Amino acid sequence: MRGKAMKNSLISAFALAASLAAGASAALPGDDKVFAAMKDEMARSMSSLDMDNLGKPYFMSYRVEDGHSFSASASFGGLEQEYSGDYRRLQADLRVGTPKFDNTHFASSAWGEYRTESDGAVSLDDNYGALRFALWSVTDRAYKKALETLSKKKAFVESRNITELYDDMTPEPAHELYRPAPVERLDEDAWKKAVVEISKVFLKYPAVRYSSVSVGFSSGGERFLNSEGSAYRQPSCSGSVSISVSGYAQDGFRLNDSYSESFCLAKDAPPKERLLAKARELGENMTKMGKSVTLKAYIGPVLFEGEAAGEFFENLLVNNAANPREVWTEKSRWNQDGVLRRAGQLVERLGMRVTSPFLNVVDDPLARYYDGRPLAGFYEMDDEGVPAQRINLVTRGKLTDYYRSRAATRDFSRSNGHGRGDLSEYPEGSPANVFVVPEKNPARVMPLAELKKKFLALCKEEELDYCIRVDSLNGLGGPFAAWKVYADGREEPVHGIEFTGVTLRALRDITAVSSEEGVYGLNWTTPGSLVAPSILVQEMEIKKSETKPDKLPYLPNPYFAR
């Protein structure tokens, strides 16, 4: 992070440190009935839950989210869906056993869900009795499930003779934070009209066979309380606008393209004019791609531009530095090795070089903006009541940290403030606002125009007729469309191709990046953003996709058939 963004982050960090009060004795807001119900039901459960002398909970936490949610979507000028309503939902995370070994990180069945107990239909008014009932009901389910899971986890560990165990919950001092949590609302009528207007753009592009324009926004607050004395109330918001299109190549291969922007505060919603321009850009791109051809194979440099670069870093780096603990499950015909979810691949490479040495990667939950663009991953306390922390994931190419919750790992026995999850998930090490920060190196960092020249020069050095430029992906494991770039700069669209043999080595093969950076939303269960430059990868291998083309529609789109 540089300049103004770095300064704002440091100011936020000092403000947070000054506002956090450590200690379990701090009082909850006296006029908050939701907190009162959480506190009273938790005290009763911790002292009285002991079914058949199987053991009391050693830890509990409640999270309650409430606010207002709005969504709308349209296609080809017609409103397809709209929703506007208030919500209140809660989660209970209840642990039995001990902090060293409890009911987490295990699921009894690969087809069963590794989930906390939650309730999405809680009384919207602050009726103390109704709130206590909802909390009691969720707690009862959570306790019974925890006892059963712990028993099966013990049997699993004994049968597998697993001796390398890490604490399921590490110590953490109590923290409190109370912020105002106002409920914001978009101008919902204006946004319904906006998604309709934007969707009409595609009526000018016959190559676009299907389209969708959608907006979603929720705003409110989140309360948290655990049995150790940590508590917070902080704002909670999430917003996004998405435009997606699809069509067909001449051979019937399905083509997809999309654009999205994430935001948190209502004032930061993207302007309609920019979205209209992006819609036209998608329509033009789909028209060109409709005339694309296939290629058999390719080995050589690849230029990942814009959103494709963001997806490259998310798939290979961010995802593999998250979820550092495995989740076990019983062996079944659907799961042969007893692992429901594997730890991120980079977790075992702490201290090793994982990217090119001129790259640094940091994650800062306290950053709200970058170069005027809103960041979706802002928070001050994570979902375990631990203060948010800026962490250095990669320093000069070497992995120096990874995302950590209160679950211990081989390398660490403390959280770094990144324990996050939605209301149905146990908090795990998760990203917030990721920044790919290149070192100042003119040979490696340059304007995008110069990066494209370096790309073409590299192609000539390898005596290739053309090289591949990618500006949109849907992950790194499936088919995508791209551009063949010839020595003279001429471009030709190609489709039905996919990467083969993509490994973490691709991160170390980044040979140069652009000085310009973009902001992209993370495809994660909790809101997050990624700031990254376009990148040039020394060598990647591409093959023709084995995905079969669709049958083209027998009749043309009725609108264009007129």
DSSP annotation string for 178-189 = E---PPP---HH
Tokens of 525: 């269960």
pLDDT of residue 38: 97
Q: Using alpha carbons, list the distances in angstroms from residue 319 to 294, 306, 491, 507, 532.
A: 30, 19, 32, 13, 15
Reduced to 3 states, what is the DSSP secondary structure of residue 145? helix
- Average pLDDT of the chain is 92
Kindly state whether residues 154 and 43 are assigned to the same domain: yes
* Tens digits of residue pLDDT in 145-180: 999 999 999 999 999 999 999 999 999 999 999 999
Burial class (CB in 10 A: 0-12, 13-18, 19+), 463: exposed
Kindly state whether residues 95 and 182 are assigned to the same domain: yes
pLDDT of residue 333: 64
Tokens of 2: 């540089």
Q: Give yes or no for residue 322 having a pLDDT over 80.
A: yes
Specify which residues 517 forms β-bridges with: 533
pLDDT of residue 21: 37
What is the DSSP pairing of strand 529-544 with strand 433-438? parallel
Tokens of 395: 């320093």
* Tens digits of residue pLDDT in 445-475: 999 999 999 999 999 999 999 999 999 887 7
Kindly state whether residues 255 and 377 are assigned to the same domain: no
Q: State the number of CA atoms in the 13 A half-sphere of 351 facing the CB.
A: 1
Mean pLDDT of 466-485: 89
Mean pLDDT of 241-255: 93
Of 527, 535, 534, nearest in space to 261 by CA = 527
Helix then strand count (H, E) for the chain reads 9, 28
pLDDT of residue 25: 45
Kindly state whether residues 350 and 225 are assigned to the same domain: no
Of 432, 458, 414, nearest in space to 376 by CA = 432
Identify the band that residue 477 occupies on the pLDDT scale cut at 50, 70 and 90.
Answer: confident
Measured between alpha carbons, how far is 205 from 255 in angstroms, rounded to an integer? 14
Specify which residues 68 forms β-bridges with: 86, 219
pLDDT of residue 6: 41
Kindly state whether residues 497 and 472 are assigned to the same domain: yes
Q: Give yes or no for residue 1 having a pLDDT over 80.
A: no
Tokens of 561: 């058939």
pLDDT of residue 51: 84
**373 and 398 in contact (C-beta within 8 Å)?**
no
Kindly state whether residues 198 and 314 are assigned to the same domain: no
Identify the band that residue 2 occupies on the pLDDT scale cut at 50, 70 and 90.
Answer: very low
Phi/psi at 222 (5° precision): -135, 130
**Which residue do the tokens 């009209």 mark?**
193
Kindly state whether residues 58 and 155 are assigned to the same domain: yes
Tokens of 151: 């028993």
* Tens digits of residue pLDDT in 389-443: 999 999 999 999 999 999 999 999 999 999 999 999 999 999 999 999 999 999 9
Q: 290 or 475, which is more confident?
A: 290
Question: Is 523 inside any structural domain?
Answer: yes
**497 and 295 in contact (C-beta within 8 Å)?**
yes
Letter string b/e over residues 237-271, b meaning 16 or more CB atoms within 10 A of that residue's CB: bbbbbbbbbebbbeeebbbbbebbbbbbeeebbbe
Q: Give yes or no for residue 314 having a pLDDT over 50.
A: yes
Q: Give yes or no for residue 324 having a pLDDT over 60.
A: yes
Q: Using alpha carbons, list the distances in angstroms from residue 442 to 268, 329, 438, 511.
A: 34, 50, 11, 12
Question: Is 552 inside any structural domain?
Answer: no
Residues 106, 108, 112: CA angle, nearest 5 degrees: 100
Question: Is 145 inside any structural domain?
Answer: yes
Reduced to 3 states, what is the DSSP secondary structure of residue 450? helix
* Tens digits of residue pLDDT in 45-102: 999 999 888 889 999 999 999 999 999 999 999 999 999 999 999 999 999 999 999 9
Kindly state whether residues 315 and 226 are assigned to the same domain: no
pLDDT of residue 336: 66
**Secondary element (H or E) of residue 360:** strand 359-363
Q: Count of domains in the chain?
A: 2
Question: Is 259 inside any structural domain?
Answer: yes
Q: How many residues does the chain have?
A: 562
Q: Using alpha carbons, list the distances in angstroms from residue 364 to 141, 217, 234, 246, 520.
A: 36, 23, 17, 35, 15
Question: Is 554 inside any structural domain?
Answer: no
* Tens digits of residue pLDDT in 104-114: 999 988 777 78
Question: Is 330 inside any structural domain?
Answer: no
Measured between alpha carbons, how far is 315 from 260 in angstroms, rounded to an integer? 17
Kindly state whether residues 234 and 265 are assigned to the same domain: yes
Domain span at 356 = 292-324+340-544
Tokens of 540: 């990647």
Q: Give yes or no for residue 23 having a pLDDT over 60.
A: no
* Tens digits of residue pLDDT in 495-547: 999 999 899 999 999 999 999 999 999 999 999 999 999 999 999 999 998 88
Kindly state whether residues 298 and 223 are assigned to the same domain: no
Identify the band that residue 552 occupies on the pLDDT scale cut at 50, 70 and 90.
Answer: confident
Question: Is 241 inside any structural domain?
Answer: yes
Reduced to 3 states, what is the DSSP secondary structure of residue 132? helix
Question: Is 535 inside any structural domain?
Answer: yes
**Secondary element (H or E) of residue 7:** helix 3-19
Q: Give yes or no for residue 24 having a pLDDT over 50.
A: no
Kindly state whether residues 222 and 298 are assigned to the same domain: no
Longest CA span, the chain: 78
Q: Give yes or no for residue 20 having a pLDDT over 80.
A: no
> How far is C-alpha 390 from the chain's CA centre?
17
* Tens digits of residue pLDDT in 167-214: 999 999 999 999 999 999 999 999 999 999 999 999 999 999 999 999
Of 246, 266, 197, 242, nearest in space to 520 by CA = 242
Mean pLDDT of 296-319: 95
pLDDT of residue 8: 45
CA dihedral 350, 355, 358, 362 (to 10 degrees): -60
Identify the band that residue 494 occupies on the pLDDT scale cut at 50, 70 and 90.
Answer: very high
**499 and 540 in contact (C-beta within 8 Å)?**
yes
**145 and 117 in contact (C-beta within 8 Å)?**
yes
Measured between alpha carbons, how far is 325 from 167 in angstroms, rounded to an integer? 11
Q: Give yes or no for residue 5 having a pLDDT over 90.
A: no
Q: Give yes or no for residue 259 having a pLDDT over 90.
A: yes
**66 and 90 in contact (C-beta within 8 Å)?**
no
Kindly state whether residues 263 and 309 are assigned to the same domain: no
Looking up residue 262, the CATH number of its domain turns out to be 3.30.2290.10
